[in-house]
């Protein structure tokens, strides 16, 4: 019975408290808990099976209706939102985006963010103590994202403000107040206008950017409103997640100086570090999902139209899938984490996110090899935001050689279960 399930209360927490709650539930034999009043799946096997099962989907406009928004500009945009698409329409969105985000373009973006990060690091080198979240994570990748999309520098601050405002729509499942609804509708209307203006400008005068490529390669597959929604999707889907994933990665690397020295000496290892951070500290900790029809998941019956929660945070620390799951290990093999999802709704912007995060990490590590966390507790975001360090106070000044720990590479986790 639902009443017998353990309740996982998620208020404001420190980085490890929530892991311990899931661990206790799992060790007690529970595959499902109650979170936000909804049944929440916490094992890797269950979460992965739901993600690939076509009977389940991310919540569409029905989610907004449940939250008290049955119409208006927010509702209209949500109908065009990537995750709201099904079948052929979903395929057309993905096909166009895959054509545009070519390997050569992604390499250009990575090179650009490496260059911009190195410039920021040079400007910080004499300051001593800095906050990496404010001074790097929320600057270099987002500046390059906006310029790569095709926006002018004058649009950057507007995009930042309204993306931050709009990000609150993903923060919970409760009713949306009239005040918050007004803020969200202003944000999505402004972002859509900026995107549509850029699309129309690139239709007349193309540039080597993402919006120009979307226009050139669209071939009438999507309407102007759909392309506009896709551009806004790339903005709001990256604005908080990229800095959050960066902050989680940097925090994990600096928590073990041997890891940071490894990335400094071998910047090509940045990709492995980002993937491991996405598993170890999943910044998007939960995915709400809806059953389109009745389903059975390993003996757990789910009713048609029931909304459930998939705990990505818990699944990515499942000891039945990952060896020594609580350990951050950049040498981990077979790291098939669920931080970007799985199946038909796997994150369509994953390659863009990886280019931005890996480029930033590699440039940071090579530019600031002596950087270290300051000796103070790191504050983490609560449940109303993406799960990541709120700030990362670091010291850029080198410490005496005698204080350095051994630079030996950490022992590998010995592989993970297939």
- Rounded to 5°, the CA angle 318-320-321 comes to 70
pLDDT, tens digit (0-9, with 9 covering 90-100), for 63-87? 899 899 999 999 999 999 888 888 8
- Domain ranges in the chain? 2-403
Question: Using 50, 70 and 90 to split pLDDT, how confident is the model at 62?
Answer: confident
* pLDDT recorded at residue 35: 82
Question: Using 50, 70 and 90 to split pLDDT, how confident is the model at 36?
Answer: confident
* pLDDT recorded at residue 12: 39
- CATH superfamily, domain 2-403, is Cytochrome P450 (1.10.630.10)
Compute the average pLDDT of residues 51-61. Answer: 93
Instruction: Tell me what percent of the residues of the chain surpass a pLDDT of 70.
Output: 88
Name the one residue in this structure whose structure tokens are 């390499």: 107
First-to-last alpha carbon distance for the chain, in angstroms, is 32
Compute the average pLDDT of residues 386-411. Answer: 67
Stated pTM of the model? 0.90
Q: How far apart are CA 238 and CA 240, in angstroms?
A: 6
pLDDT, tens digit (0-9, with 9 covering 90-100), for 179-211? 999 999 999 999 999 999 999 999 999 999 999
Among residues 189, 188, 214, 190, the alpha carbon closest in space to that of 201 is found at 214
pLDDT, tens digit (0-9, with 9 covering 90-100), for 325-336? 999 999 999 899
* pLDDT recorded at residue 349: 92
């Amino acid at each position: 019975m639902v009443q017998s399930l353990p309740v996982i209360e998620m208020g404001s927490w420190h980085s490890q408290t929530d892991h311990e709650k899931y661990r206790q539930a799992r060790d007690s034999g529970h595959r499902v808990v109650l979170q936000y009043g909804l049944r929440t799946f916490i094992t890797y096997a269950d979460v992965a099976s739901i993600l690939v099962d076509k009977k389940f989907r991310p919540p569409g406009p029905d989610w907004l209706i449940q939250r008290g928004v049955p119409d208006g500009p927010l509702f209209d945009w949500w109908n065009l939102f990537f995750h709201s698409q099904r079948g052929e329409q979903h395929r057309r969105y993905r096909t166009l985006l895959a054509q545009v985000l070519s390997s050569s373009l992604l390499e250009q973006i990575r090179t650009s963010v490496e260059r911009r990060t190195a410039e920021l690091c040079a400007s910080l080198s004499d300051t001593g103590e800095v906050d990496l979240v404010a001074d790097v994570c929320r600057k270099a990748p987002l500046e390059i994202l906006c310029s790569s999309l095709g926006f002018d520098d004058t649009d950057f601050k507007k995009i930042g403000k309204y993306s931050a405002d709009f990000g609150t729509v993903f923060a919970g499942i409760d009713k949306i107040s009239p005040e918050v609804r007004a803020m969200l509708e202003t944000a999505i209307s402004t972002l859509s206008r900026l995107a549509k203006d850029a699309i129309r400008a690139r239709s007349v005068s193309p540039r080597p950017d993402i919006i120009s490529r979307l226009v050139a390669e669209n071939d009438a597959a999507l309407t102007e409103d759909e392309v506009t929604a896709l551009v806004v999707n790339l903005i709001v889907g990256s604005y908080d997640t990229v800095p959050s994933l960066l902050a989680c990665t940097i925090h994990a690397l600096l928590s073990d100086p041997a890891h940071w020295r490894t990335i400094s000496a071998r910047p090509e290892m940045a990709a492995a570090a980002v993937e491991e951070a996405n598993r170890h500290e999943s910044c998007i900790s939960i995915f709400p999902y809806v059953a389109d029809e009745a389903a059975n998941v390993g003996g757990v019956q789910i009713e048609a139209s029931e909304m459930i929660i998939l705990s990505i945070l818990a699944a990515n620390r499942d000891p039945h899938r990952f060896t020594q799951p609580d350990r951050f290990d950049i040498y981990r093999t077979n790291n098939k984490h669920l931080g970007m999802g799985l199946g038909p709704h796997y994150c369509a912007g994953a390659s863009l996110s990886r280019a931005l995060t890996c480029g930033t990490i590699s440039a940071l590590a090579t530019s600031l090899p002596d950087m270290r966390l300051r000796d103070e507790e790191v504050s983490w975001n609560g449940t109303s935001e993406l799960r990541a360090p709120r700030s990362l106070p670091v010291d850029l000044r080198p410490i005496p050689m005698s204080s350095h720990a051994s630079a030996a590479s950490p022992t590998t986790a010995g592989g993970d279960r297939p």
